[in-house]
Every structure is written in structure tokens, then in C-alpha cells.
Amino acid sequence: MQKYPDNLWTTPEICSLNRIPARATLHPYPTQQLALNRSPKESPWYISLDGDWKFQLVDNPCHKTAEDFISPKFDVSGWEDIYVPGNWTTQRFDKPWYTNVLMPFDNYPPNVPEDNPTGLYRLDFKLPKDWRGRRVVIHFGGVESAFYVFLNGHFVGFAKDSRTPSEFDLTPYLQAAGNTLAVKVIRWSDGSFLEDQDHWWMAGIHREVYLTSTEDVHIADVFAHGTQEGDLTLELNASFNGKQPQPNWAFVTKLFDQNQEEIEEGASETQIPPSLGAGAGNRGNRCELKLKIQNPKPWSDETPNLYTLLVGLKNPEGNIVEWTSTRIGFRTIAIKDRQLLINGKPVLFKGVNRHDFHERFGKTVPRETMLQDIHLLKQFNFNAVRTAHYPNDPYWYDLCDEFGILLIDEANIEAHHYYGNLCDDPRWTNAFLYRGINMVQRDKNHPSVIQWSLGNETGFGTNHTALAGWIRKKDPSRLIHFEGVLTPFRQGFCGWPDNVGIDATDIIAPMYPDIKNLEDWSKNSKDHRPLIPCEYSHAMGNSNGNLKEYWDAFENLPGLQGGYIWDWVDQGLLNLDDQNREYWSYGGDYGDTPNDKNFCINGMIWPDRTPHPSMYEFKKLVQPVKVTPISLNQPAFAIKNKRWFTTLDDLDASWTLSTGQRTIQEGAINLDNVQPQGEITFTIDDLQMPELLPGEETFITFSFKLKHDADWAKEGHEVAWEQVMMPFSAPPDRPASPEGRLQLKKSTPTMEVVGRHFKLQIDRTLGRIKSFSWRDKALILDGPKLNLWRGVTDNDGVKAWSGQHWKPLGKWLKAGIDQLQLKTVTCDVETIDGGAVVADFCNIWTGTDEDAPICHQHRYLILPDGEILVENLVTIDGKLPDLPRVGVTMTLAPALENLTWFGRGPHESYIDRKAGARLGVFQGTVSEQYVPYVMPQEHGNKTDVRWMALEAGPDDAGLLFQAENRLLECSASHFTPDDLFKAMHINELDPRSEVFVYLDYAQRGLGGASCGPDTLPKYRLQPGLYSFSYRIRPYTAN
């Protein structure tokens, strides 16, 4: 057996052996038309190796089988099949492993455990006859984390870097009769210390594998850069495959627009200067061209105009022996006056961080899922992505080019466990450079790439500076981004001094800044660079509070220009429990220890790509149209186009005057020729003064929808909306006191109030209503009673973690907010003049500190027709922490499943996340209010509620809850807060048959404190006095 270098997986100085230099994603074609089509599978010089391979997992790289399987004679017929591309950790072998900061093992770098799972892959293939005598290259799109390649028993090469391609020349080892490819993939390597990136540790060949064929003399690389002004710079590289360069070879270029029409100025032919001789002038087999394209259509996020560059290689006989192609865009990037300019405009970055992730396939993301991601981004008004924390799949960049997504392309470098260590270690310098160069070389032709990132959360050291220097020399057309210059030795707010790290970043890119620090920086900094947070608004569970305040700052404060939410998709792996119920798993569910539990569940969308409610908040805040009232009595409105490059001609606009329940008047708006950043005034000259019913309010809703189908959404998709309250309303109906006299039956411990159609029982011991029935139908089974607790959110405190004592959750548990004890009750129930009954209660509750009481005074005015006016006064002792909520809860009969409310909807909303929920009357079932956050927690809240009704169905009984002295927050659920708090996965939740109703003065805001700032002080519920009232009205449906 051929000897080959071993232990390379723990040698950081060696990143690869025999690997072809990194280059752009290019494919060889025999004809110009095939190159123009850009479909490599149509090329006769391309063979995909994706599919079933033979596979065996062994304990470590030195296992005997890991040596023997290299031989073609080794029998693998008994091995299992595995699909490539794919992680073996999602295909029944080994286990996924999630950590955020900690390495999964204790070994100090560069050492890794001896118990090191190693995947052995085998595939037999045979080449077409017309490939004989030609050069054959194998391409591995991504392999985690280090791997050896063998062909027909011969060592071919070795590589690290799990997220960029590695290519090897197979030509010397090919056999005409057939070939045996063997790949040994090692799970843990020194490269793992640079891939500690807050995602699942997987393993295997997770991106595509294919073969290409060229002549010995071939196109090695193409680098094209076009500016907004039409300056096209080309760097074209040929390779003579290690042989003596020959004269009279030439490059031919052609340029085509999106309609495949040739652009005359893009045609050229240039002799390739052979790299002969020594000294100055020997630039390799490289051509550097500058062409001038007249009036190109610029590329931007709003106008993703693409051109196809064809490059041909002409031999000395005048024949073109190879074509290749790449798409390019014309755009200019610059920094000026604290602004990042794209084609001269200070575009706001409406961004999000994105991992490659799929709920079934792990790091292997199907193309249809990537397209789904792109559609969702565009539909929800995102325009930017940070490829966290590594170069994503190459197809992602093609989609971003096509649809207009601005990219921060991030090098596969994060040494979070060894923060500030490896970045200054010279043994790792080559690895830093290698990974950054791999990224730049692969993605350099993509116009969507606006910034190169030096990596993430690794500190800041000389290795970063070295990489920044290489990138600046290679590609001065783009900017460099690096957050680590702000926190070189430790994480946290260290101030953002002027000109910090100016050699290594063109952007001030903090993580999780609070709004006050952003305001101070904008006001006081003299730095010429813009501040664009690379991570903010941590989207873990029910989250993204305070987004409105962030975007108020981004849009209005000098030097701020948007940011990137963390992050896109919940990294929950789909699983089945022993009862065949689906749930999403997270760290620790596979016996992976140590782990960081559900800290990987922090996306704006669920693992199946369903949008979280917070997506609608973001969509509204960053929408491209703004409506501002000028006058309401004689309605006039300013409509602003917030786009930078396009008009609003693609949108239909309309307005509707409504009460929420009924439409009063509607009309269309002419948006013709509203220029970028332009504004028009729209007036409603014939607005009809509505005749309102009691309790009705009026508001105008503006809607802006796609006029025609777009690539990313259908005609009629709503791009933007706005609501304006109008000064027309009618007071609520206050009918005359109903006739009749109630019967009050006093006894111990239960009292009864009986009316013509209802019966109400009072528990004098507990100091609350025990039950309420209407027309012999039980409606209220218990309550109202005081409720301060909620199914805590991840921002309240990560309940799967220890050490949360300093978070709100820890403070609440310490104070016993989850287990309040009723200490004293006073009860006074009397009949008053007119036949009504008044029940007065005073309940004193305590948590763990009996000297910190909570007093709930609640009064019930019970009228003869069954209507009840409820007044609440809650006094919270000052020694208690700020609270999850202040309100009451009651248990209703299971039949009351149908829910209607007048407030914000249709999705959940919270006091610090309600801009994206419009006002109206909404309907659904109680079951439909469940929001299946991967970690069960508080959900389904409704804000600014005027009334909420629950009923069993047509012609059946119902209950109406109507706000009195202030608007309420309300919800209805089949789960209690304790149910949500105890459950760790969605399959552990069993809906109760009863309906639990929550009527709140308010809930605490959501914030983003799972990793970042808490909700703002104005959205917290501090100890003190809280007063709220509501009416309960029984009724018969219809």
C-alpha cells in the first residue's frame, strides 16, 4: 500500500496537500451556447458523483479498515449506502452535536480526541471514452472537517476547511477499465478549532461532488469586476498543467445581457503572455484587461441586473478549445461621510444572519429550500444577509445575484472557545489566510458580495491583519468587515473608539448594541465609517422586541445604516418521539455533552421555513413606502418612496376607511412616477362622514401590493401597509339598567347570584367567582383570579440553563412569582338598589417573601341581565422585581372554542412588538392561537384589545370581554403558563380541553435578552399600582 502523510489533521501549519489553488466556481464547456446557458449538467465535460456511496464509520482515522479500504480490492459490498451530499450525522451514523462557545472536547489545540469518528466513503465510476487523454478534476464542494482522497489505491490529496471547495487532479491515477474512489473523512481536526460557530457540529461530504474534464492547457480562473460607470476589469488565468508554457494561446471574451444579446464592447481577444524568464514582468499565464461598457444597467438590491461573461481559450491553431462563463454585475461600493454607498446611495441594510441548515439534512440544504429562503427574504422586505459564519453553499450566491440580496461573505473562521488566542498564534497564520483566500477566490465574481468578513468571534490579532492585507490587495473593489476589532480580547461593550481597527474593517460592526449606545455614537463619534451591527435583536423563541426603536435609530441617526438580525432559521432537527409525534430537537437531545441546549433555536423562521410572527414586525418596519398624515379632518397624506433606485410603478395602492368590522369607503391611489426617495401628496376629497354604531372607531388602511407577478411573489402580494386612526368614533352603547331583581343566596363557603338566564357562584374562601352559567350552559368554570406569571420566554431567561439568577426568570423564581400563595381573603357581597349585586374582594398574595405582599382588590357589579362590570386594583410591593404580566386569568368551558377579537392581529403582538400587527376584527379558534415555538413558551398575546369574544358556535352561548378604562392585552389558550414552563419540547405539550383566558393590564415586553439588551424600561412592569376594568357580557351567538 502506498505511503501517505498521516496526522495532517492535527497540523495547523498544513491546510492541504495537492489541492488545486482556490478559484471561482467555473465549469468547462465545448461550445459558446452551452457556456451561455450556464448549465454544467448539459456539458459533456461534467459528471455528477452525487448519489449513493458505500459507507462505513470507524472509531478513528488510524483504524485498520481506514487503511485497508483504500485498496480497490477491499470488499465493501456489505457496507451500508449513504447519500452524498449529506452529513452522516443525519443519516443514522454517529450523532449531531450542538455547542455555542465550548468545544465538544477538552483537548488543547491543535490536539483532538483519539476517539475521533471517521467516515469511509467508497464509489466506483467509469469515465466516458472521449475523456481519455484529457485532464480530469474532482470537486468537493464541502467536507467536514478534514479528508484524504485516494484513487485506485493512490493517495491523491488532503484538505481542510469544511465550507469551501477542494479540487484535486485525478489524471495520473485514472484507469480506462474503471476507477475506485476512496475518501476518508475525519470528524475532528485542528480545523475544528476554527469552526466553533454556534451551530450543529456535523460531519461528512455535505456539498456536491463532481468531475470535470479539460485539456492540459485550460482556463484556470476568471476574476471580473464591473463598476456602475461601465469600467470592466478582467483578470484571466490559464494553466499549462505544470508544463512548459507555449506561445500564441489567447483568451477571447464576450459579454451578454439578460436577454442573451451580445454587448459589443465586451468582446476582446488577448494573447496570453507565457510565464517564461525571470524577474520583472513574469506575472504567470495571466491577462489583465480593462474594457469600457457603455451605459450598463447597474446591479443593486432593487435592480439586480446581471450580465454573462464568456471566456474562451484559443489554441495556437486558432481553435477555441474551452469556454467558461460567469455572471457579473456593474456596481460601485464606497465609504463616504459615515455612509456605505452602493452606486452612490446610502442603502439601509435590512439584514439577517443565515446558517446553511435544513431540518432533515443538517448542513446540506436542497436548492429548492434555498429558493424558498430567497422568496421569504424578499417577501418580508429583507435586502441583506451575512453568511454566518462561513461561506454558504455556492448556489446561494447565484440566487442572491439574481434576486438582489446584499451579502457579507464571511470566512470560515471562528475560534470562540479560544477567543483572542489562535488569532495571534503564528502556527495558525496559514490557516487564517487559507480560509479567507478560499472564500474570496470562490466568490469574487458575485455582485451580491458587498463585503468580505474576516470571520467571527475570534478576537483580533495579527492573523486577521494578514488576511485583511491579502484581501485588500486582491480585491480593492469591496469593503472588509470584521467585528473583532471592537472586542480583541473579550466580548461585551468595550466602547467604539474612533478609527479602531481601521486596517481590518471598513465598518463599525458591533454585536447586540443597546439603543442608547447607538444614539451616543451617532452624536459623538468622529469616525468616517458607518456603524452597522452585524448581530442585533437575538431572535430566540418569542423575541425581537424593541425592533421599532432600533429602526427609528437606523433611519434617523447619522452614521447608522441598518443591521443584521441574529438569525434566520431555527436550527431544530426534526425528530419523532416514542409515540410517533414530531418535534424539533436541540443540543443535548442526542446525548451530546457538553451542549448549549436550545441556544441554536434563534431564528426568524421555524426549521420548516414557516415565518415567526416577528417576521411581520420586521416587514412592516422596513417597508419601502411610508405614509404620513398631513391633515385628518380634510384627509391629506404624504406618501414617500423609501427606495433608492426604483419608482413605485410596480405597486397598486388602495385605501379603505373601516371600523374594523365593516368597510365604509374605499378607493385607489395613483403611484405613477413616484421617484426614488420622492414623495407625493394624496387627498381624499370626497370622504363620507360615516354614521357610526355605538362603540365604533374609524381608521384608514393603506395597502401597497404587487401589480404583476414578480420572481419572488405573486401579483397581489402586499409589500407595505399603513393605518391611520381617524377622528370619527362613537361612544360605547350603555343601555338602560336592565329590569329585574337578582336572587342572592348566601351560604358558606359558596354564594349564588341567580338571574333570569344565568347563575353565578362565588367561592368566599378563595375570594373569586367559582362558576358562571348562561341559559343552562356552563361558561366560566373558575376565576377571574390574579395572574402575574407567564410561560417564560427565552429572553426572560433560558430555562434549560443554570446560572440564570440575574435574568428576569431567576428573579421571578426567587421571588416565587410562579407559585403565589393566597394568604388572606375579604369578601363582601350585597344587593344594591335596582336589583343588582355587588361583590367586593380583597385578596392578599405572597411569594417567597411574606413581607412583600401583592394586594388584588376586585369588584364585580352583577346586573340582572347577566352583564358584569369588573374593576381591578393591583398593588405590587416595591421589594418585588419587575413582573412578567399584571392581569387576571379564568377557566372557560371547553365548548368556547371560537374566538373573535377587536385589537391587533391577526398574529400575536406584544407591547414592544406590535407595529407589524394591524388593528381590526379577527377570528379564529382557540387552538389556532397556539404558536409552536421549538422551546414551549409564552405566545398568542393580543395588544390594544377593545373586546374579545368566545363562543361555542351558531345559536349557542358566548362570552364577550370588553375593555373599560384602558385597552387590554388578551389571549386564549388550551395551555396554562405552568404547562408551557414545564415542557421542553413541543411534543410534551398536551392541550387541555378547557379554555384559559388571560386579560392583562399589560405583559412585560419581549426584548432580546437571551443574547443582547432587555426590553426597554418603558416596556417593563415595575412594582406599583395597576388599575384596569372590563365588562363580561354573556350572549347567544347570532
Phi, psi of 963 (to 5 degrees): -65, 145
To the nearest 10 degrees (0 to 180), the angle between helices 462-474 and 429-443 is 30
CA angle 424, 428, 429 (to 5 degrees): 75
CA of 323: how far to CAs of 247, 261, 380, 447, 509, in Å? 19, 18, 39, 21, 41
986, burial (CB in 10 Å: exposed 0-12, middle 13-18, buried 19+): middle
Cβ atoms within 10 Å of 697's Cβ, excluding its own: 16
Residue 271's CB: how many other CB atoms inside 10 A? 12
Following DSSP, what letter does each residue of 368-388 receive, concatenated?
Answer: HHHHHHHHHHHHTT--EEE-T
- In the 3-class helix/strand/coil scheme, how is 391-451 assigned residue by residue? CCCHHHHHHHHHHCCEEEEECCCEECCCCCCHHHCHHHHHHHHHHHHHHHHHHCCCCCEEE
Cβ(498)–Cβ(525) under 8 Å?
Answer: yes
Reported as half-sphere exposure (CB side, CA atoms, 13 A), residue 607 has a value of 23
First CA to last CA across the chain, in angstroms? 85
Residue the block writes with cell 405583559: 1003
DSSP state of 660: S
Question: 1024 vs 819, 856, 1005, 1021, CA distance in Å?
Answer: 20, 12, 17, 9
Which distant-in-sequence residues (6+ apart) come within 8 Å of 351 by Cβ?
A: 382, 383, 384, 385, 386, 406, 408, 562, 563, 564, 565
Give the span between the Cα atoms of 761 and 753, in whole angstroms.
6
- Which of 335, 355, 872 has the alpha carbon at shortest distance from 571? 355
Number of neighbours of residue 402 by Cβ within 10 angstroms: 17
Locate the DSSP E strands across 537-581. 562-565, 573-576
Active-site residue identified among 144, 535, 867, 938: 535
Buried b (16+ CB within 10 A) or exposed e, 520-529: ebbeebebeb
What are the DSSP calls for 677-714, one per residue? T-EEEEE-TTPPPP-PPTT-EEEEEEEEEESS--SSS-
For CA atoms 85, 150, 241, 48, give the dihedral sign.
negative
Contacts of 765 (CB under 8 A, 6+ apart): 749, 825
In DSSP terms, 773 is beta-bridged to 759, 778
Q: How far apart are CA 353 and CA 512, in angstroms?
A: 13
Candidates 208, 457, 483, 994; catalytic one: 457
Specify whether the CB–CB gap between 138 and 182 falls below 8 A: no
Whether 457 is a known active-site residue: answer yes
Q: Give me the phi and psi of 175, to 5 degrees please.
A: -130, 140
- The DSSP element (H or E) to which 577 belongs, if any, is none
Which single residue is written with the C-alpha cell 443538517?
362
* Residue 319 burial by Cβ neighbours in a 10 Å radius (0-12, 13-18, 19+): exposed
Q: Is 108 helix (H, G, I), strand (E, B) or coil?
A: coil
Beta bridge partners of 204: 144
Q: How far apart are CA 449 and CA 475, in angstroms?
A: 12
* One-letter amino acid for residue 58 of the chain: V
Catalytically active residues are 457, 535
